[in-house]
Amino acid sequence: MPSEKAKENKALTATCVACSKAVSTETAVSLTGVEDGHRKAFVVCIPCANKGWRPPGFRGVYTVRPV
């Protein structure tokens, strides 16, 4: 049953750019890549990041985190 709590949780979801799943922001990371020549933050879920997904132009270092 939907509750006020569920609505709050909905505000804390993001869509993973790699698998297109809605994920909690607590289980997603923002990786900076480049799109059309501009730096852009790509939100990806931790499982995808741990599998090696990186945005185009990613230059940082991603440390695998526990899910």
**Contact residues: Zn ion, CB under 5 A:** 16, 18-19, 45, 48
Residue 19 Cβ, how far from Zn ion at the closest point, in Å?
3
Residue closer to Zn ion, measured from CB, 19 or 64: 19
Output 16 or 29, the one with its CB closest to Zn ion. 16
Write down the least CB distance from residue 59 to Zn ion, Å: 21
Which residue is associated with the tokens 């695998």? 64
